[in-house]
Every structure is written in C-alpha cells, then in structure tokens.
Amino acid sequence: MATSKADASAREIVNLYARRWTIEPSFRDTKDLRFGMGLGAVRIGDPQRRDRLLLLNAFAVLFLTLLGEAGEALGMDRHLKVNTAKRRTHSLFRQGCMLYDLIPAMPEPRLRPLIERFLEMLKNKPITAQLTNIA
C-alpha cells in the first residue's frame, strides 16, 4: 500500500484505507443498475440538471436505506439472506431495494408493519423529519 503519510504507522494506514473503502459500495450503488440506481448509464451535459439528479438520487438512497433499516428492525432481513448467515449480508440500502421490489406483492400483514416502522423512523430521525416535515 502506497501513501504520502511518512509519519503514519502501518496500522493507521490500513485504518485509513478501510475507512475509505466504505465509500466504494456507495459509488457502486449510485452507478450500477443491478445493485442500485443505474446512474452510470446517464449522460447529462447541464451541470444544474446533473446536480438535481444527484440530489434526487441522495433522497432515494436515504429513503431506501431507511426502508431497509425498518425491515431489519422487524426481522424481515432473515428472508433476504441465506439462513446460515448470522450477520448482515446486505447493506441497509440493498435490503431497502429488495423490500421495495417486494412491496407490490407483499401481503397486507407484512406490508403494514413495514410502512408503519418506516414512517416512525422518518419521524424520529432529525434529518428526515426536517426533510419530510412529518410531525
């Protein structure tokens, strides 16, 4: 691993790299249609239009992540992964995408608690409460 931080220890460099790695899945989620939003195929010449699209993408990622968090809080994540896994195998964003895809065919007894938990999370998180003006 190459670095310009001559005074950093090997452990510090590895920790910095590990922290940087957490952003890579976000880039994939934004660019790739299979895993996320599919913006890699979008070509926009107007910077303001691009910025508006990226803002909408940020909102979508936020809401899908909250949907994934709501589903995980209700134990729905166990239906989205192999039954031998003890830890989270999909990000909250990815879980939210999968749950969103399942909503049209989701039975009412599963859908209602998911939506209620999602709305509860929207209210309880300061940033989403401000954005959505839910009281």
pLDDT tens for the chain, 135 residues long, are 677 888 888 888 888 888 777 778 787 888 887 777 888 888 999 999 999 999 999 999 999 999 999 999 999 998 888 777 788 888 899 999 999 999 999 999 999 999 999 999 999 988 887 887 765
pTM of the model: 0.78
* Domain of 45, in residue numbers: 10-132
Name residue 64's amino acid: L
2 assigned to some structural domain: no
The secondary structure of residue 79, as a DSSP letter, is G
Task: Tell the burial category of 91 from Cβ atoms under 10 Å away from its Cβ (0-12, 13-18, 19+).
Answer: middle
What is the spatial distance between Cα 1 and Cα 17, in angstroms, rounded to a whole number? 9
Give whole-number Cα distances, 1 to 5, 7, 14, 26, in Å: 11, 14, 8, 22
1 assigned to some structural domain: no
Structure tokens at 135: 């009281």
4 assigned to some structural domain: no
Q: Which residues contact 66 (CB under 8 A, 6 or more apart)?
A: 92, 96, 118, 121, 122, 125, 128
User: So what's the pLDDT on residue 1?
Assistant: 66
17 assigned to some structural domain: yes
What is the spatial distance between Cα 56 and Cα 50, in angstroms, rounded to a whole number? 10
42 assigned to some structural domain: yes
- Find out whether 66 and 96 touch, Cβ atoms under 8 Å: yes
62 assigned to some structural domain: yes
Give whole-number Cα distances, 33 to 26, 46, 116, in Å: 13, 22, 28
5 assigned to some structural domain: no
Q: How many domains does the chain have?
A: 1
3 assigned to some structural domain: no
| 3-state SS class at 88 | coil
Counted residue by residue, the chain has a size of 135
